[in-house]
C-alpha cells in the first residue's frame, strides 16, 4: 500500500468521525414525527375533511369557541329602543343586512361629527364639510357661508357641552341605512359684522340647542363613513 492510499484512507476515516459527531446516532429514544391530525383531534379540533386547502398554503385552524350567549331579541337594543317599536324594527333591518353595524359605536361617532360640523360651518371650513355632508346638505351650508362672506360677517361658536345624543329613528331604504339622532347641547354663538358688532346671537349667553340630524350610508359600499343628509331643529 503506497503512501497516497494511506493518506486518502486516513482522510476518509477523519471525515466519517466528524459527520458522526455532528449528526449524532440513533439511540431508539428519538422523538417521533409530529402527528398534526392526532394532535388536532386530541384538542377537539377539526377532522381532516375540515382542513381547507388553498393554492400554495394550508389553512389548519380549529373552530373558535363561542364567546357569549346569543342576545335575546327582547334585549337586543336595550337602552336604545323598546322591542317592537319602529326604531327597533329599523335597527333590526339594518343589522340583518350589515352584521358589523353597532348603533352604540355609531352614536359615539355621531357626537364627534356633530361638534365637528357645527364648528366647521361657523369657521367656513368647506373642506371639512365636504367630507361630512351629502351634496344637498353641503350646498345648503355653502350658500349660508357665502351669504356671510358677502356681508363681511364672521360667526364665533363654542361648545359648552353636548348633554345628549339620542337615537330617535332608524330605517333601511333599499341599500341605504338612515339613522336620526337628537342632539341636546349648550353652546355660545355670535355673528359679527365687519366692524365687530354682534348682529346675531350672543358672545356671553349660553344657549340650549336641540338639533335633529339624519345620517346615511350605503351599506354595500366599502366606504365605512356616514354622511349628514338632513338637518332640523327643535328650537
**The predicted structure's pLDDT at residue 7:** 60
pLDDT, the chain, mean: 78
In 3-state terms, what secondary structure has residue 138?
helix
* Cell 323598546, residue located: 82
145 with 124: CB under 8 angstroms?
A: yes
Summarised one tens digit per residue, pLDDT across range 34-64 is 333 333 333 333 333 333 332 333 322 333 4
Phi and psi at residue 129, in whole multiples of 5°?
A: -65, -35
Q: What's the rounded Cα separation, in Å, for the pair 97 and 167? A: 19
Q: What is the DSSP letter of 66?
A: P
Summarised one tens digit per residue, pLDDT across range 97-146 is 999 999 999 999 999 999 999 999 999 999 999 999 999 999 999 999 99
Summarised one tens digit per residue, pLDDT across range 149-207 is 999 999 999 999 999 999 999 999 999 999 999 999 999 999 999 999 999 999 999 99
pTM for the model: 0.67
Element (H, E) at 62: none
Summarised one tens digit per residue, pLDDT across range 134-165 is 999 999 999 999 999 999 999 999 999 999 99
Q: Which domains does the chain have, with CATH numbers?
A: 84-234 (3.10.450.240)
Q: What's the rounded Cα separation, in Å, for the pair 229 and 213? A: 8
Amino acid at each position: 500500500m503506497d503512501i497516497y492510499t494511506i493518506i486518502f484512507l486516513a482522510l476518509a476515516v477523519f471525515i466519517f468521525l466528524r459527520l458522526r459527531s455532528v449528526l449524532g446516532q440513533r439511540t431508539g429514544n428519538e422523538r417521533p414525527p409530529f402527528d398534526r391530525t392526532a394532535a388536532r383531534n386530541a384538542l377537539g379540533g377539526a377532522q381532516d375533511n375540515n382542513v381547507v386547502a388553498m393554492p400554495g398554503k394550508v389553512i389548519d385552524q380549529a373552530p373558535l369557541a363561542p364567546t357569549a350567549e346569543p342576545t335575546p331579541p327582547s334585549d337586543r337594543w336595550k337602552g336604545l329602543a323598546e322591542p317592537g317599536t319602529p326604531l327597533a324594527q329599523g335597527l333590526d333591518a339594518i343589522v340583518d343586512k350589515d352584521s358589523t353595524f353597532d348603533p352604540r359605536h355609531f352614536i359615539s361617532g355621531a357626537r364627534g361629527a356633530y361638534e365637528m360640523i357645527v364648528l366647521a360651518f361657523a369657521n367656513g371650513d368647506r373642506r371639512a364639510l365636504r367630507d361630512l355632508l351629502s351634496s344637498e346638505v353641503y350646498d345648503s351650508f355653502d350658500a349660508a357661508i357665502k351669504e356671510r362672506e358677502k356681508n363681511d360677517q364672521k360667526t364665533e361658536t363654542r361648545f359648552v357641552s353636548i348633554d345628549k345624543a339620542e337615537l330617535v329613528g332608524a330605517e333601511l331604504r333599499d341599500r341605504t341605512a338612515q339613522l336620526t339622532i337628537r342632539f341636546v347641547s349648550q353652546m355660545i354663538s355670535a355673528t359679527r359684522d365687519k366692524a365687530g358688532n354682534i348682529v346675531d346671537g350672543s358672545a356671553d349667553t349660553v344657549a340650549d340647542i336641540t338639533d335633529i340630524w339624519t345620517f346615511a350610508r350605503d351599506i354595500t359600499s366599502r366606504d365605512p363613513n356616514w354622511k349628514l343628509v338632513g338637518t332640523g331643529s327643535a328650537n
